[in-house]
Structure 1
């Protein structure tokens, strides 16, 4: 019997849910809008908030994300690309 590994992709909806759960939502920011290429800082999330989200992603999806790679991911799009590109590895 062969086993196959199904990779679960993290979506923008997943990411915005985790941002809300770990750091709340900035007043006047609509995370349900077109935020894919909006810098996290403009969305009201600092590096501490992102570290919390990364920890949650690692727990929920069982992947390890290098801290130095996260620093360069300044938008939801960049972070999702990092997570879903295979640069993150199984934890």
Structure 2
């Protein structure tokens, strides 16, 4: 996995590893703009996901991410913004 870029595929794998199969449709190309709750993930699953992202990608997301990044696309963008600040190569 490239640790300088966080992708939808990275998010899907981390969600699967941490939260298991969702109650809803899950993260797919057609669902990246739907709320995590609509995709079958509760706030605890997203908290676990953020913790795993922080550990695996070496970024500090902070609690505000939970409120701001309500969709897969938004979370990927936030993580990539943190990665670009952490590694301004």
Q: Same fold (TM over 0.5)?
A: yes
**Contiguous gaps of at least 5 residues in structure 2:** none
With structure 2 as the length reference, what TM-score do the two structures score?
0.80
Kindly state the Cα deviation for residue 74 of structure 1 after the two structures are TM-superposed. 0.7
Aligned to 1:63: 59
**Corresponding residue SS for 2:30:** coil
Runs of 4+ in structure 1 over 2 Å off? 30-33, 86-90
Structure 1 vs Structure 2 CA RMSD:
2.3
Distance 1:77 1:85 in 2: 12
- Residue 36 (str. 1) matches residue 32 (str. 2): yes
Quick one: distance in 2 between partners of 1:80 and 1:14? 9
Q: Which residue in 1 is equivalent to 2:80?
A: 84
Q: Gaps (5+ residues) in structure 1? A: 1-5
**TM-score normalised by the chain length of structure 1:** 0.79
How many residue pairs match? The answer is 85
* Larger proportion of strand: 1
Cα deviation code 1:15-64 (max 9, x no counterpart): 01111111112255253442210110011111110010011111111110
For 2:19, the equivalent position in structure 1 comes to 23
